[in-house]
Amino acid sequence: MSRSYEETYRSSIEQPEEFWAQQAERIDWHRPPTQILDASTPPFISWYKDGQTNLCYNAIDRHLESRGDQAALVWESTEVNQTKSWTYTELYDEVNTVAAAL
Mean pLDDT value across the chain: 96
Domain residue ranges in the chain: 5-53, 56-101
What pLDDT sits at residue 1?
Answer: 45
pLDDT digits (tens, 9 = 90+) for 38-65: 999 999 999 999 999 999 999 999 999 9
Residues of the chain short of pLDDT 50, as ranges, are 1
Cis peptide upstream of residue 43 (ω within 30 degrees of 0): yes
Cβ contacts of 86 within 8 Å, gap of 6 or more = 71, 72, 73, 74, 94
pLDDT more than 70, % of the chain: 98
d(CA 90, CA 87) in angstroms, rounded, equals 5
pTM beyond 0.85, yes or no: no
d(CA 43, CA 40) in angstroms, rounded, equals 9
Cα–Cα nearest to 24, from 13, 14, 9, 12: 12
